[in-house]
Amino acid sequence: MSKKRSWLKGDTHLHTTDSDGVLSTEELIKGLKKKGLDWAIITDHNYPAADAPYFDEDLLIIQGEEVTAGLGHFNVWGIKMPLQAPYKADTPEEFEKLFKTAKEAGGTVSVNHPFCKNCTWHPPLDGFDMDCIEVWNAPMHIDNLANRTWWHKQLLKGRKIAAVGGSDYHRDFYVTDFLAMPTTFVYAKSNTQEDVLEALRGGHSFITQGPNKTRLTLSVGDSFMGQSVQWYQGIKVRVQARGIKRGHRLKVFNNDTLIYDEKAKKRNLDFELQVPQKGFVRAEITYEYNIFSRQIYKLVLLYAMPKDIGLKLPPFIYAMTNPIYFE
């Protein structure tokens, strides 16, 4: 009998005092449980979570590490790195070899914050056989839009890469609450390391502002995000948004074409759209900051993202899906 999938919420990118976070592992887990997460991956810089995977009550802690080098950062999930840090990765060739070592050892590998102004990914992204890409790193900010744009262009080229989000939690700044912001929901067979990672790699997921924020999903019959379905004239995709805020804008893309673009007038939306072309369909919800949110954002910029000070604030993403593919 096949396992029945369910939606499980988690965070793919977390730090403790074992690297440069301010919380101990015990304090971090306490905060994650308070958030109501089902799973989490602690990814300290060049430091493996040696006792993972394990359960702390109902919270699954998955083995993880953020491999950190001058040329870029990537998360390795599900294994302990077969090499010992510090890693030799001074050239693009050495860095790529380190990346391949993680993959060959059975790790699920995700490129982190590739267009971050503070810690940019330097090698050409097209040359890396990543399982996932972190399109949403930490609270939503301008660099994440560049991550999303690159990922979308790869989808247009026919490359199927799963998008993930991670809070990259290190600490809070006065009035902020960054833990599990964003949250990645996976449609997994069970809350085990094997099944959560399978769902992440497969793109059976969506990313949203937090564990109790808007839920956004796509389906075609019994097929769901990350899966492929046979396209035919008149085929429809079902779009469901739960807990969407009024004034937030829902957009649905069929490849590079917007097939739906409306501001929400109701809390819950459930409708079908015809899919005009083969390729993929994905959805996102965007919003614009009010005056109060702009002030908080500017405060955070002073400490975390000084290079963004003075930039015009575009509409930001509140929730986004991985695609369903139409072949």
Per-residue pLDDT for 11 more than 90? Answer: yes
Average pLDDT along the chain: 94
Residues 194-249 pLDDT 10s: 999 999 999 999 999 999 999 999 999 999 999 999 999 999 999 999 999 999 99
Domains and CATH numbers, the chain: 7-326 (3.20.20.140)
Per-residue pLDDT for 308 more than 50? Answer: yes
Residues 158-201 pLDDT 10s: 999 999 999 999 999 777 899 999 999 999 999 999 999 999 99
Q: What is the pLDDT of residue 1?
A: 37
Tell me how far apart the alpha carbons of residues 280 and 64 are, in angstroms, rounded to a whole number: 30
Average pLDDT value for residue range 239-262: 97
Average pLDDT value for residue range 261-273: 97
Express as a percent the part of the chain with pLDDT over 70: 99
User: pLDDT band for position 2 (50/70/90)?
Assistant: low
Of 55-64, 258-267, 284-293, the range with the lowest mean pLDDT is: 284-293
Q: What is the pLDDT of residue 294?
A: 74
Q: What is the pLDDT of residue 3?
A: 73
Q: What is the pLDDT of residue 296?
A: 74
Per-residue pLDDT for 32 more than 80? Answer: yes
User: pLDDT band for position 298 (50/70/90)?
Assistant: confident
Of 152-166, 280-294, 302-316, the range with the lowest mean pLDDT is: 302-316
Average pLDDT value for residue range 293-312: 75
